[in-house]
Amino acid sequence: MSEYKVHIINTGKVRIEPELAFGGDHCSTAKAAGFSIKRSPKIWLPVNVFLVETPDKLVLLDTGWDHSMSPNGVFDKKAQIKSLGSSLLYHVNQGVVAKGMTASEQLAKLGIKPSDIDYVTISHLDCDHANGLRQFKDAKNIMVARSEYEYAKKHPYIRFKKKWWDDVDLNLYDWNDSQGPFGRSYDLLGDKSIELINISGHTAGLVATKVTNSDGKYFLYYGDGGYGEKSWKEMVTSGISMDKSAQKKSLEWIREESLDPNCVRSLACHGIEEKPEVFEF
């Protein structure tokens, strides 16, 4: 009998430079962000979140876009700049979410209210993961790694905007376990069934979520530790990172975990191979 049910929920799209996702070890930040003279055609990638149903808990991994990004369900430059609070971020990544497709709206169709969610875990505080936080301010616990929060506070004008979580009660956690490439993780439920594992590099406090059943089979969500299977299969790092060597070490760990026979699924936020579905293990 299955212990866990995982819903893959698509909450719109993001348009970025291909080098941002797959720039590799020697890509400049300027090129990845679209500020170089020679620019590639931008690409659209999905923005997915994941609802994990445990035997007695509901856990949401990331929040996707807020409704304010696309009030009318279509691409809207003016609305996006207002929602993100930054024309610079608009230049780096454009987003769109169709009507009725935000995470909270799709969960409502399943009869799930934000207040029903036991834990919202944020992989990291980039806009396409945290812009939708306000939808879930009534969730029981909103979990953000303290190291990620401190990193975001140091870069308020370039990458992160406090307005995304200003009226949200964040539960900042410190590492209490030692899984992952750096021996830093957080045992969410105290039984090692759900571990938030630090995969530093893209940001300081980026976490992967590993959900393990009683048979040792697990589902791995690695956020932006890679931008899909291509990242870990070809070992190609993304173009924007805080620490490239840490990012490579994290990607090596993601590859190892993804190839483990006990891994039932290994998924990113933006993998083009991911389609809305429900799977159990």
- From the CB of residue 82, how many other CB atoms can be counted at a distance below 10 Å? 14
Q: List the structure tokens of 136.
A: 């879930």
Query: How many domains in the chain?
Result: 1
pLDDT digits (tens, 9 = 90+) for 28-53: 988 999 988 777 799 999 999 999 99
Beta-strand pair 5-16/94-96? antiparallel
- Mean of the per-residue pLDDT values for the chain? 96
At residue 40, the pLDDT reads 76
Beta strand extents in 89-203 (DSSP E only): 94-96, 119-121, 142-145, 171-173, 185-187, 194-198
Beta strand extents in the chain (DSSP E only): 5-16, 43-53, 58-61, 94-96, 119-121, 142-145, 171-173, 185-187, 194-198, 207-212, 218-221, 263-267, 277-280
Tally the C-alpha atoms within 13 A of residue 208's C-alpha that lie toward its C-beta: 34
DSSP 3-state of 216: coil
Q: Which of 70, 157, 60 is nearest to 112 (CA)?
A: 60
Percentage of the residues of the chain whose pLDDT score is greater than 70: 100
pLDDT digits (tens, 9 = 90+) for 53-91: 999 999 999 999 999 999 999 999 999 999 999 999 999
CA distance 128 to 105: 17
Distances (CA, A) of 197 to 6, 56, 222, 248, 258: 19, 22, 9, 15, 14
What is the length of the chain? 281
CA distance 143 to 173: 7
Contact in structure between 255 and 247 (CB atoms under 8 Å)? no
Q: Check which CATH number belongs to the domain holding 47 and give it.
A: 3.60.15.10
pLDDT digits (tens, 9 = 90+) for 150-172: 999 998 878 999 999 999 999 99
Place of tokens 């856990």: 59
Amino acid at 180: G
At residue 148, the pLDDT reads 98
Domain of residue 104: give its range. 5-280
pLDDT at 207 over 80: yes
Contact in structure between 240 and 202 (CB atoms under 8 Å)? yes
